[in-house]
Amino acid sequence: DTAVSQTPKYLVTQMGNDKSIKCEQNLGHDTMYWYKQDSKKFLKIMFSYNNKELIINETVPNRFSPKSPDKAHLNLHINSLELGDSAVYFCASSWTISTDTQYFGPGTRLTVL
């Protein structure tokens, strides 16, 4: 009965590959987010979706493409992976886009070799 889940938890891949990270929330929330935590533990928003509609794209390279098939799922696809993409990626969700607490998934540690 995990609230926000992500798969996989760990992802190790070679430079140039394409990979996806999946996120699902069973909280009935309308809004979902992707955050990136770098090696210095700094967290920064990448995208937010509200009812399957992209709301925030925070100057992320267009190699990153989020997709929301329904409001319970927000996947992140990354093309042509680079060394600098190595990070922990967190999915989060909230009831609405403006005023509510965001609940985070367990994170996906991506390592690009």
- Which residues contribute to the site for other proteins (CB under 8 A)? 31, 33, 35, 40-45, 48, 50, 55-56, 58, 88, 90, 92, 94, 96-107, 109
Are 31 and 49 a contacting pair, CB within 8 Å? yes
Residue 80 CB, nearest distance to other proteins (Å)?
26
Query: Which of 14, 28 has the CB closer to other proteins?
Result: 28
Q: Least distance in Å: CB of 67 to other proteins?
A: 18
Q: For residue 19, give both structure tokens.
A: 């990979």
Q: Tell me the closest approach of the beta carbon of residue 2 to other proteins, in angstroms.
A: 11
Do residues 11 and 112 touch, judged by C-beta distance below 8 A?
Answer: no
Q: Which CB sits closer to other proteins, 6 or 75?
A: 6
Q: Least distance from C-beta 16 to other proteins, angstroms?
A: 27
| Nearest CB to other proteins, comparing residues 78 and 92 | 92
| 81 or 89: CB nearest other proteins | 89
- Phi-psi bin for 39: left (phi > 0), alpha (psi -120 to 50), beta? alpha
> What is the C-alpha to C-alpha distance for residues 41 and 89, in angstroms, rounded to an integer?
11
Given the structure tokens 């319970």, which residue do they identify? 72
Q: Is 66 helix (H, G, I), strand (E, B) or coil?
A: strand
